[in-house]
């Protein structure tokens, strides 16, 4: 692995980032799990102090694909500048579907898939995770962009064991479309763990000499594509699967099972100790989805199990290869890539997701985490101001992330009750967490906002209040905050923390942090389990 390489976590639109930041043919493997056109609103759920799900839900990505100016522009670009097959297909899809939400989704996916084709190496592969809502349309797009000859598999993943639907069969599977960039794609044959039922059924013979069961494997190549070896052995002439010298070796080792019928073709004995498992097929039923009792659960609604990504990454990349996920979400792809010693690129359009990924990586790998850089988020005051003007919610999430706070709720859906975020801490033997309530302001600030926050502090019986501001606070604001007094922990007599704290974005960028007792492990975010690079589980906390 190149020692100069830095793994990359991008905040922003993956279309712009791929076009501006990712070179041609530089990525070995792409996995993407884009939001489906399901009208769903995807929320990040945080776990409360008592272990229950939080009632506060943060909209991380609203799946509200609608035909508008952006999709019209993307459609025009695809038709006028895209590959001819894709241009013809997109026009036919629009004629069939019209300008509805599904067509908007497909256009926005198509223009991104073109960029993914560009950045993928000739030996690279792409896995597109989707559900039956749009998988048939997406497969047509993939055929047009990657070529139908480079289609490898439509993988069916059973993500649930079953549930009842009122008027149809239960929908329990997702589809993963697997394509290569070319017929030279990298492929590591992977085996499924030996299945006990299979062994009990098919290892139906017993070798008295070896005291071991075995199954009989055909040695005839008749009916198989690719030819065989035509010769006679011990009076049996057929088209064999192996050369004569190999067959003689099997015979000397006592590994041929001769049928009772004279002239019958012998079979190869495969002993139970030889059986390492069968090659993995295109229906995956052995990987369970993330559920409420999963140790991996972080609370992200579209979170996929690490075992799913591990199978894909091991099959289609080697150590040191670059794995990219352009819809990174809570970061399962990059976490598994890191554990398996791959390089990685993660992209997400929400700063909240980027914050969650940073926590996950640092909790999971600790000091073993490879060097990485976060790109696209503000690094200076000018960038912070630009983000605040562009999207106040993204600005709030970014500012909260800088002080390791979790957002309070989805303010797009209702009143925010004067709170933008929380930090929780434990500083006594009760085990109960105390709260720091946070208000973030990207615009004009006044002393009345400090008074309002003090009122919320008293109402919610929080330990500390924090006011984060892009502008410099006024003198009356500082005086009002100072008048709130101090918080003194019971177990740290004499240790005083300002009850009301004001932090400017400039101060935070220069390293200033909230002042509060840090005598116990941080409990604001749910902890990802600690894992070694080998993938073995280490002791971790899930709070």
Q: How far is CA 358 from CA 156, 193, 329, 355, 371, in A?
A: 31, 33, 12, 5, 12
Q: Is 114 inside a domain boundary?
A: no
Number of domains into which the chain is organized: 3
Task: CATH number of the domain at 177, please.
Answer: 3.40.50.150
- Residue 409, token pair as written in the block: 């709720």
Question: Are 51 and 19 within one domain?
Answer: yes
Name the DSSP letter for residue 53: E
Q: Residues of the chain whose pLDDT is less than 50? A: 1, 37-63, 410-415, 535-543
For residue 492, the model assigns a pLDDT of: 84
Question: What is the number of other CB atoms lying within 10 angstroms of the CB of residue 122?
Answer: 12
For residue 527, the model assigns a pLDDT of: 66
For residue 503, the model assigns a pLDDT of: 97
Cβ within 8 Å of residue 332, ≥6 positions away: 303, 304, 305, 306, 309
Question: Are 498 and 403 within one domain?
Answer: yes
Question: Are 222 and 149 within one domain?
Answer: no
Q: Is 97 inside a domain boundary?
A: no
Q: Residues 335, 31: contact at Cβ < 8 Å? A: no
The closest of 245, 257, 360 to 300, measured between CA atoms, is 360
Cα gap 463→118, rounded to integer Å: 53
Q: Is 100 inside a domain boundary?
A: no
Question: Are 253 and 285 within one domain?
Answer: no
Q: Residues 271, 251: contact at Cβ < 8 Å? A: no
Question: Are 264 and 317 within one domain?
Answer: no
For residue 62, the model assigns a pLDDT of: 47
Task: CATH number of the domain at 467, please.
Answer: 3.40.1350.10
**Chosen domain end from 274, 298, 331:** 274
Q: Please, where are the H alpha helices in 445-504?
A: 447-460, 475-482
**Chosen domain end from 334, 358, 375:** 375
Q: Is 83 inside a domain boundary?
A: no
Q: Residue 74: which H helix or E strand, with range?
A: helix 69-81
The pTM score is 0.77
Question: Are 213 and 233 within one domain?
Answer: yes
**Chosen domain end from 274, 292, 313:** 274
User: Half-sphere exposure of 135 toward its Cβ, with a 13 Å CA cutoff?
Assistant: 17
Question: Are 200 and 150 within one domain?
Answer: no
For residue 164, the model assigns a pLDDT of: 66
Kindly tell me the burial class for residue 24, based on how many C-beta atoms sit within 10 Å of its own C-beta (0-12, 13-18, 19 or more): exposed
Question: Are 138 and 254 within one domain?
Answer: no
For residue 232, the model assigns a pLDDT of: 95
Please measure the distance between the N-terminal and C-terminal CA atoms of the chain and give it in whole angstroms.
35
Q: Residues 408, 56: contact at Cβ < 8 Å? A: yes
Question: Are 397 and 476 within one domain?
Answer: yes
Structural domain range at position 201? 196-274
**438 DSSP β-pair partners:** 421, 466
């Amino acid at each position: 692995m190149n020692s100069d390489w830095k793994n990359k976590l991008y905040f922003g639109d993956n279309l712009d980032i791929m076009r501006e930041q990712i070179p041609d043919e530089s990525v070995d493997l792409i996995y993407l799990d884009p939001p489906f056109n399901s009208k769903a609103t995807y929320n990040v759920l945080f776990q409360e102090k008592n272990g229950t799900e939080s009632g506060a839900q943060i909209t991380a990505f609203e799946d509200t694909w609608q035909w508008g100016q952006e999709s019209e522009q993307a459609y025009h670009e695809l038709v006028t500048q895209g590959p001819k097959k894709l241009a013809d297909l997109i026009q036919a899809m629009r004629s069939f579907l019209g300008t509805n939400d599904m067509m908007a989704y497909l256009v926005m996916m198509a223009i991104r898939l073109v960029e993914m084709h560009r950045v993928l190496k000739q030996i690279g592969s792409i896995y597109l995770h989707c559900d039956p809502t749009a998988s048939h349309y997406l497969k047509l797009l993939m055929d047009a962009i990657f070529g139908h000859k480079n289609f490898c598999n439509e993988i069916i993943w059973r993500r649930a064991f079953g549930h009842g639907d009122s008027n149809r069969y239960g929908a329990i599977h997702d589809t993963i479309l697997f394509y290569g960039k070319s017929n030279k794609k990298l492929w590591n044959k992977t085996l499924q763990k030996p299945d006990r039922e299979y062994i009990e059924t098919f290892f139906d013979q017993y070798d008295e000499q070896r005291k071991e069961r075995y199954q009989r494997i055909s040695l005839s190549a008749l009916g198989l594509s690719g030819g065989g070896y035509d010769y006679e052995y011990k009076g049996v002439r057929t088209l064999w699967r192996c050369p004569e010298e190999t067959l003689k070796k099997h015979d000397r080792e006592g590994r041929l099972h001769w049928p009772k019928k004279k002239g019958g073709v012998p079979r190869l004995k495969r002993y139970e100790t030889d059986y390492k498992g069968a090659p993995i097929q295109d229906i995956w039923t052995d990987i369970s989805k993330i559920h409420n009792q999963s140790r991996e659960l972080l609370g992200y609604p579209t979170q996929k199990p690490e075992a799913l990504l591990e199978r894909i990454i091991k099959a289609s990349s080697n150590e040191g290869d670059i794995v990219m996920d352009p819809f990174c979400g809570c970061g399962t792809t990059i976490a598994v890539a890191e554990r398996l010693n791959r390089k990685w690129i993660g992209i997400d359009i929400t700063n909240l997701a980027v914050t969650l990924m940073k926590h996950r990586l640092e909790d999971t790998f600790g000091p073993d985490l490879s060097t990485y850089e976060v790109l696209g988020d503000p690094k200076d005051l000018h960038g912070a101001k630009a983000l605040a003007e562009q999207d106040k919610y993204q600005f709030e999430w970014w500012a909260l992330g800088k002080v390791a706070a979790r957002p309070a709720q989805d303010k797009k859906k209702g009143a925010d009750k004067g709170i933008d975020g929380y930090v929780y801490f434990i500083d006594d033997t009760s085990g109960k967490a105390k709260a720091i309530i946070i208000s973030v302001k990207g615009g004009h600030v006044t002393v009345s906002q400090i008074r309002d926050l003090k009122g919320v502090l008293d109402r919610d019986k929080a330990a500390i209040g924090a006011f984060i501001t892009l502008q410099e606070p006024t003198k009356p604001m500082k005086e009002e905050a100072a008048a709130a007094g101090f918080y003194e922990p019971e177990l740290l007599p004499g240790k005083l923390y300002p009850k009301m704290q004001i932090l400017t974005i400039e101060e935070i960028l220069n390293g200033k942090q909230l002042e509060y007792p840090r005598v116990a492990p941080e409990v604001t975010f749910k902890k990802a389990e600690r894992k070694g690079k080998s993938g073995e589980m280490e002791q971790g906390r899930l709070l």
